[in-house]
Amino acid sequence: MLLVSSVISASMAIIAFSGKGGTGKTTLAALSVKYFAEKDEVTLAFDMDPDAHLSKLLGLPLTKTIGHVVDHIHKEKKLELEPQKPVDVSDVEYFYSRVMSNVLIEGDKTDLLTLGKPSSDIDCYCPVFYWAEHAVTKILKSYKMPYMHIVVDCDPGTEIFPRKILDRIADDRGIDYVFTVLDGSRMSLDTAQDIVNEINKKHSNFGKVYGICNRVDDSKTQQLIKEVAKTKYGLEIIGFIPTDQEIVRRSLVNQSMMDITDSSAYEAMREALKSLHI
Ligand SMILES: Nc1ncnc2c1ncn2[C@@H]1O[C@H](COP(=O)(O)OP(=O)(O)OP(=O)(O)O)[C@@H](O)[C@H]1O
Ligand SMILES: [Mg+2]
- Alpha-helical (H) ranges within the chain are 25-38, 54-58, 66-75, 89-98, 126-142, 165-170, 186-202, 219-233, 245-252, 264-275
| Superfamily of structural domain 5-275 | P-loop containing nucleotide triphosphate hydrolases (3.40.50.300)
Buried (b) or exposed (e) across 166-182, using 16+ Cβ within 10 A? Answer: bbbbbeeeebbbbbbbb
User: Which pLDDT value is given to residue 136?
Assistant: 84
Domain edges within the chain: 5-275
Report the pLDDT value the prediction gives residue 231, as an integer from 0 to 100: 97
Instruction: Tell me the per-residue pLDDT of 51-71, one tens digit each, with 9 for 90 and over.
Output: 999 999 999 999 999 999 988
The rounded Å distance from CA 227 to ligand 2 centre is: 27
User: Probe ligand 1: pick from 20, 26, 240, max atoms within 8 Å of CB?
Assistant: 26
- Which residues of the chain fall short of a pLDDT of 50? 1-10
Q: 129-161, pLDDT tens digit by residue? A: 888 887 888 888 776 557 899 999 999 999 999
Distance 26 CA to ligand 2 centre (A): 4
For residue 213, what pLDDT is reported? 98
Q: Is 32 helix (H, G, I), strand (E, B) or coil?
A: helix
pLDDT of 85 reads 62
Please report the pLDDT score of residue 9 as a whole number: 44
List the residue whose alpha carbon is closest to atom 5 of ligand 1.
248
pTM summary value: 0.93
Give the pLDDT confidence score for residue 2 in this predicted structure. 42
Testing ligand 1's pocket by substitution, the residue of 251, 255, 260 carrying the most ligand atoms inside 8 A of its CB is 251
